[in-house]
């Protein structure tokens, strides 16, 4: 765990009586900033798109569970000594989480700014650690009935030849700004991907996908496990969860509809490799994120 000292005793507020300085030395202020990116398709119970659609009556129950799992992660972070938590609501409208159920130390990011950091908007090097809640298996996987990568229009997305999930995309963003990714909860498939990517990451698998079905742990058990595992992950040496960022990126995006691939191929630097597939290369990950911001969301 990395603590940053906010001020030394020498720079303590001037109104402090000189006689109180020894006591002040014992009360040094520390800061641990934690970032949480939250999705819903990897929350326990969620099995059908109706349950992830805010306009559907089925949604309320799962919005509440998404909120409970994020609140559990916040609690774990606070138990570990966290002092400031930023949460990105990162599903659909990005207006899912019930703010009053999160702790007062939380800054909640709602809606979409349009910034290419997308599901990790406002993440920067001032954060000590990042957590992912409710994450789900990627497009092309059978490990979640709702498996996809960013858009339902994508049949598959590869970065440097590896199948890419929303986990991989945003883990590289965390690496880009130098923040370790220490915890992920979601379906079993994405937990396995996370462990392959970052062997020291802590995970909680809240469900397993089987075709269009899911086998889920109890909502309260998910909450308990997330709190405990987040706490221990943040008390551990988070630097072991730093992901090295590749120096070069070769991206391939395969669309379900060939006309979408054709349109995306006109993004500067993109080429059409196959009627359904575009390719793009860069040595700057931000340029990859810029591509995604323009060709994955139409
Ligand atoms: Zn989602």
pLDDT tens track for 173-202: 999 999 999 999 999 999 999 999 999 999
CA–centroid distance, 275 to ligand 1, in Å, is 27
Q: Give the Å distances, CA to CA, from 75 to 232, 251, 261.
A: 12, 37, 43
pLDDT beneath 70: ranges in the chain:
1-29, 298
Torsions phi, psi for 146 (to 5 deg): -110, 25
CA–centroid distance, 4 to ligand 1, in Å, is 33
**Closest listed residue to residue 190, CA positions, set 173, 166, 210:** 166
CA–centroid distance, 145 to ligand 1, in Å, is 12
Distance CA 83, CA 15 (A): 24
Token pair of 99, please? 């703010």
Token pair of 254, please? 């395969």
CA–centroid distance, 186 to ligand 1, in Å, is 11
Looking at residue 115, its pLDDT comes to 97
Distance CA 291, CA 35 (A): 24
CA–centroid distance, 56 to ligand 1, in Å, is 15
In 63-121, beta strands by DSSP E? 84-89, 106-109
CA–centroid distance, 75 to ligand 1, in Å, is 23
CA–centroid distance, 57 to ligand 1, in Å, is 17
CA–centroid distance, 194 to ligand 1, in Å, is 17
CA–centroid distance, 29 to ligand 1, in Å, is 37
Q: Is the dihedral of CA 78, 41, 298, 138 positive or negative?
A: positive
- Find the helix or strand (DSSP H, E) in which 129 lies: strand 129-135
Looking at residue 232, its pLDDT comes to 98
Strand partners, 255: 154
Report whether 266 contacts 229 (CB < 8 A). Answer: no
CA–centroid distance, 40 to ligand 1, in Å, is 5
Look up tokens 């498939």; give the residue.
Answer: 189
CA–centroid distance, 68 to ligand 1, in Å, is 16
- Find the helix or strand (DSSP H, E) in which 282 lies: strand 277-282
What SS3 class is residue 150? coil
CA–centroid distance, 126 to ligand 1, in Å, is 26
**Closest listed residue to residue 291, CA positions, set 257, 252, 246, 243:** 252
Spatial neighbors of 132 by CB under 8 A, at least 6 apart, are: 36, 37, 38, 39, 167, 170, 181, 183, 184, 185, 186, 194
CA–centroid distance, 14 to ligand 1, in Å, is 49
Q: How many CB atoms lie within 10 A of CB 28?
A: 13
Q: Give the pairing of strands 213-216 and 202-210.
A: antiparallel
**Closest listed residue to residue 169, CA positions, set 141, 197, 189, 143:** 197
**Closest listed residue to residue 172, CA positions, set 238, 115, 233, 249:** 249
Looking at residue 30, its pLDDT comes to 84
Distance CA 292, CA 242 (A): 23
Helices (H), 80-209: 166-177, 188-197
CA–centroid distance, 37 to ligand 1, in Å, is 11
CA–centroid distance, 52 to ligand 1, in Å, is 7
CA–centroid distance, 16 to ligand 1, in Å, is 49
Residues across the chain: 298
């Amino acid at each position: 765990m990395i603590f940053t000292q906010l001020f030394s005793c020498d720079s303590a507020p001037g109104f402090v009586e000189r006689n109180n300085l020894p006591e002040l030395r014992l009360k040094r202020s520390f800061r641990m900033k934690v970032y949480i990116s939250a999705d819903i398709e990897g929350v326990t119970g969620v099995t059908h798109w109706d349950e992830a659609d805010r306009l559907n009556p089925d949604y309320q129950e799962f919005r509440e569970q998404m909120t409970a799992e994020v609140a559990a992660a916040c609690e774990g972070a606070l138990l570990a000594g966290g002092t400031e938590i930023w949460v990105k609501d990162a599903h659909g409208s990005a207006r899912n989480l019930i703010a009053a159920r999160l702790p007062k130390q939380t800054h909640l990011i709602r809606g979409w700014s349009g910034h290419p950091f997308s599901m990790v908007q406002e993440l920067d090097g001032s954060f000590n650690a990042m957590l992912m809640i409710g994450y789900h298996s990627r497009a092309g996987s059978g490990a979640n009935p709702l498996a996809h990568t960013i858009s339902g229009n994508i049949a598959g997305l590869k970065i440097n030849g590896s199948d890419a999930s929303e986990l991989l995309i945003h883990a590289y963003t965390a690496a880009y700004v130098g923040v370790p990714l220490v915890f992920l909860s979601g379906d079993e498939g994405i937990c396995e991907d996370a462990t392959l990517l970052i062997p020291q990451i802590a995970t909680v698998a809240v469900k397993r996908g089987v075709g269009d079905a899911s086998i889920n742990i109890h909502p309260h058990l998910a909450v308990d496990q997330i709190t405990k595992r987040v706490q221990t992950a943040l008390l551990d040496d988070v630097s072991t969860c730093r992901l090295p960022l590749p120096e070069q990126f070769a991206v391939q995006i395969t669309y379900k509809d060939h006309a979408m691939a054709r349109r995306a191929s006109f993004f500067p630097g993109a080429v059409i490799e196959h009627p359904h597939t575009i390719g793009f290369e860069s040595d700057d990950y931000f340029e990859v994120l810029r591509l995604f911001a323009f060709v994955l969301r139409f």
